[in-house]
Amino acid sequence: MNTETFIAQIAAASIEALYGAADSSQIQIQKTRKEFEGDYTLVTFPLLKLSRKAPEATANEIGEHIVANNPTISSFNVIKGFLNLSISPAYWAERFAEEVANENFGQAEPSGRTIMIEYSSPNTNKPLHLGHIRNNLLGYSVAQILKANGHNVIKVNLVNDRGIHICKSMLAWQLYGGGETPQSSGMKGDHLVGKYYVEFDKHYKAEVKELVAGGMSEDDAKKKAPIMLAAQEMLRKWEAKDEEVYTLWQTMNGWVYDGFDVTYKALGVDFDKVYYESQTYLLGKSLVQDGLDKGVFFRKEDNSVWIDLEADGLDQKLLLRGDGTSVYMTQDLGTALSRFEENKLDDMIYVVGNEQNYHFQVLKLVLKKLGYEWSDNIYHLSYGMVELPEGKMKSREGTVVDADDLIADMVDTAREMSNELGKLDGCTNEEADAICNMVGLGALKYFILKVDPKKTMLFDPRESIDFNGNTGPFIQYTHARICSILRKAEEAGIDFKANVQCEFLPEEIELIKSLSDFPTIVASAGENFAPSTIAAYAYDLAKTFNGYYHDHSILKEENVEKRQMRVKLAAEVARVINRAMKLLGIDVPQRM
């Protein structure tokens, strides 16, 4: 039971004894604000109908009853209608002992719920970029947090491996590639294919410009540019399973997958299952027929199938083209149904940028109208774009921040700054490489995940690698510092695993309070799909410990029991920092 629930039970018992049973909604417990004395605060205003007294009188009466009947509560004070309760040091000592003894601290019991989370969803016509990094890090972290909440989690990737954008890269490679391969060029496969996507756009723009100069309107020129017509013909051949086109498609996609795998490994993200759009884009056709049979959908004169959502405040939505070909919505309807039925899902989370908010609103509504009640359990984890100081990124123009380049730059910057600060002194080359990789990736992940997903964010690589302030390296360095303390404690023969009884300083109780919050923080992050909650907690815990370490000696404390307790407290802080950062997909070093 967490402390807040415990305090709520104590308050409920006193309220019942004084005035009669209160409804649970009337018992509002919150952490006491820092400017006031106390640990938890009971808001008395919802109780005034029961007490029939003024707010301050009610608060005083409840406070007196709680203190008289509960030794856990050492004192109380009243500020207007707010009852601030102070918990005894003995309670926190018991909580600390329980936490240390609990090997699974922060891990909830199995919930029995199965949740699928889809993230990454790249196109196979270009390498992963900074926007994909935010998607991958967010999806992976939310999956880790949901696991910590006791859920069975299935991580999936839906690769967009078909369509006109893929054909553009294929055609440009045919026209201008000269047989170039990843092996012959030394380029990663996804970079090579992305190079030809940019090449297509360059030639396309040149053709459009030439046609416009010859008197054609720009709209017509964009439709009739020879290279675009050739790409559209290639797509038709792909859908007809033309052997030459299909073989080229398999070959170039293979190059891209090999490249993606390298990036995913470097980022530290993975998947339990990978879906391919080429295998799923026809899935929804039977659902479309089902909707027609039920009268939920209607067919237009050109044979296309639509649903009218105007009564729901939306518009008419295309579900199947007149020639019988699928659109994204067709595919997503069928994929959702097959996933829920095959995996017996309780929830399905899509990690997709906020430009698709409308799409997922429609998806849920269409499934609901088809009679699938589980549509209420589809959640779109919408996130804002990542921008740079220079502005927005554009794939076609080749101005994106490449994921592989960014990862390499982060590691190089971590090495440069670590050397400047002497963080690598005494490390072997192998240790230095591991630390720089850990710090560079930790800085990148933390900087992105500490921001609320819904917000558009500005990414500044240099700012993210700072060993002071709200950064990944600051938290990583705190962990390494504690590990150094623990190594020295072992060398000095300090038994910090033994149970000791001694009084805690107020600063030590603050650390214990922060540690005890961890399971509640994990639960809140899981309910809200919010890695930023974990990031804020990890930073606050590290900052609190550093303040304590600055003011109080640990290894040089003369009292034996106090020294043992302080080392034990430091060890528990390191353990919780490690677990919190793992939920963000971030490793923490033992030395630095």
pLDDT of res. 399? 54
> Is residue 31 in some structural domain?
yes
50 with 177, same domain: the answer is no
DSSP string, 365-380: HHHHHTT-GGGGGEEE
Out of 87, 122, 155, a domain closes at: 87
For 469-487, write each residue's pLDDT tens digit.
899 999 999 999 999 999 9
Confidence band for 398, pLDDT divided at 50, 70 and 90: very low
Residues across the chain: 592
**CB count, 10 Å around CB of 458?**
11
Same domain, residue pair 441 and 557: yes
Which pLDDT value is given to residue 390? 63
- Both tokens of residue 343? 């995996």
pLDDT band at 227 (very low <50, low <70, confident <90, very high): very high
In this structure, the answer to whether residues 264 and 410 fall within a common structural domain is no
Query: Is position 17 within any domain?
Result: yes
The domain boundary residue, chosen from 246, 262, 278: 278
Give the pLDDT confidence score for residue 56 in this predicted structure.
Answer: 95
Question: Does a structural domain hold residue 346?
Answer: no
pLDDT, tens digit, for every residue of 68-82?
999 999 999 999 999
Instruction: Give me the DSSP letters along 300-325.
Output: -TTS-EEEE-GGGTS-EEEEE-TTS-
Is the distance from CB of 453 to CB of 532 less than 8 angstroms? yes
Q: Return the CATH number at 76.
A: 3.30.1360.70
Average pLDDT over residues 234-242: 91
Query: Is 393 a residue whose pLDDT tops 70?
Result: no
**Residue 333 within a domain:** no
> Residue 336 domain-assigned?
no
Please tell me whether residues 68 and 178 are part of one structural domain: no
* 564 and 433 together in one domain: yes
> In terms of domains, do 422 and 512 share one?
yes
Q: Would 109 be classed as within a structural domain?
A: no
Q: What is the CATH number of the domain that holds 487?
A: 1.10.730.10
Please check the confidence at residue 395 and state whether its pLDDT lies above 50.
no
Domain assignment present for 10: yes
Residues 540-558, mean pLDDT to the nearest whole number: 95
Q: Tell me how far apart the alpha carbons of residues 31 and 12 are, in angstroms, rounded to a whole number.
A: 17
Is the model's pLDDT at 231 over the cut of 60? yes
pLDDT at 169 exceeding the cut of 90: yes
For residues 218 and 239, the model is more confident at 218
Check whether residue 199 and residue 77 sit in a common domain.
no
pLDDT of residue 394: 46
pLDDT at 297: 96
The answer to whether residue 185 scores a pLDDT higher than 70 is yes
Q: Is residue 224 part of a domain?
A: yes
Residues 442 and 542 in one domain: yes
The pLDDT of 163-185, averaged and rounded, is 95
> Where does a domain end: 70, 87, 104?
87
Place of tokens 């000095």: 492
| pLDDT for residue 397 | 46
* Confidence band for 299, pLDDT divided at 50, 70 and 90: very high
Rama region for 227: left / alpha / beta (φ>0; ψ in -120 to 50; rest): alpha
65 lies in the same domain as 169? no
User: CA–CA separation, 535 vs 366, rounded Å?
Assistant: 36
Q: Total domain count for the chain?
A: 3
Same domain for 176 and 54:
no
250 is in which domain, residue-wise?
163-278
- CB-count burial class (<10 Å; 0-12, 13-18, 19+) for 67: middle
Residues 431 and 543 in one domain: yes
Q: Is a pLDDT exceeding 70 seen at residue 193?
A: yes
Q: How confident is the model at residue 391 (pLDDT cuts 50, 70, 90)?
A: low
> What number is the average pLDDT over the span 258-275?
96
Say if residue 179 is in the same domain as residue 81: no
Average pLDDT of the chain is: 92
